[in-house]
Chains A and B, each alone.
Chain A
Amino acid sequence: RKEVEQDPGPFNVPEGATVAFNCTYSNSASQSFFWYRQDCRKEPKLLMSVYSSGNEDGRFTAQLNRASQYISLLIRDSKLSDSATYLCVVNVSPGKLIFGQGTELSVKP
């Protein structure tokens, strides 16, 4: 079983749609969780950290369920510029970030 697993995608959605990505992780001792974004295999960039209480940043909402070892990302009112690969990332030990395979999102006009 992979340490971090994501929906494989690709997700093809129209502008304005709401889209949800899911992610599960296997290491119950994991401490920190993040969503990163990668455009055209350039460098990954942090989108948001994920907390147990859930957190929201504009159109983006991230949730963490430690009991189920499950992380989600919700994007509302999708924009063309949201098209990218979204990476679920888990910090399993100090300094060691484990990346999921990534889910590709394509937002169409």
Chain B
Amino acid sequence: NAGVMQNPRHLVRRRGQEARLRCSPMKGHSHVYWYRQLPEEGLKFMVYLQKENIIDESGMPKERFSAEFPKEGPSILRIQQVVRGDSAAYFCASSLGGSGTEAFFGQGTRLTVV
């Protein structure tokens, strides 16, 4: 049973380009979460999704960021018109249920904006 798979592991984008980060949850998990870890900082909650629905996006920046978890395929975190401050590690996690169940993390995507 593969764990949470994120790709790419490393992504370099020039300012103004788009970044698309993918996350395939563990088999059987329908709850997906995205977190961002800026250099020298802790993990910050971004968004919580269930299949085809955004449950909580209180941690998402108001502009340029969007997330989806379609019925088929991986969850996508999309960052439009990237800026240097978007450089960070983006971790995806999945769980079987919502509250109180263990969340398993992927290895993360390290985004560098040049």
Contact = CB atoms under 8 A, between A and B. Distances in A.
Interface string B6-48: 0000000000000000000000000101010100011111001
A22 B114 CA distance: 38
B108 A102 contact: no
A33 to B, nearest CB: 10
Main secondary structure of the interface of A (DSSP, over half): strand
A43 B99 contact: no
Contacts of B83: none
A100 B99 CA distance: 18
Interface string B68-93: 00000000000000000000010101
A12 interface: no
B98 to A, nearest CB: 4
Contact of A102 (B33, B42, B98): B42
B99 A32 contact: yes
Contacts of A98: 45
B99 A95 contact: yes
> For the side of the interface on A, what is the size category?
20 to 34
A31 B99 CA distance: 8
Nearest to A38: B43
A43 B106 contact: yes
A20 interface: no
A45 B106 CA distance: 10
B99 A44 contact: no
Contacts of B48: 94-96
A95 B91 contact: no
26 contacts: A32-B99, A42-B108, A43-B91, A43-B105, A43-B106, A43-B107, A46-B104, A49-B102, A87-B43, A91-B99, A91-B100, A93-B56, A93-B99, A94-B56, A95-B55, A95-B56, A95-B98, A96-B48, A96-B58, A97-B33, A97-B93, A98-B45, A99-B42, A99-B45, A101-B42, A102-B42
Instruction: Give me the 4 closest cross-chain CB pairs, A-B, nearest first.
Output: A95-B48, A43-B105, A94-B98, A32-B100
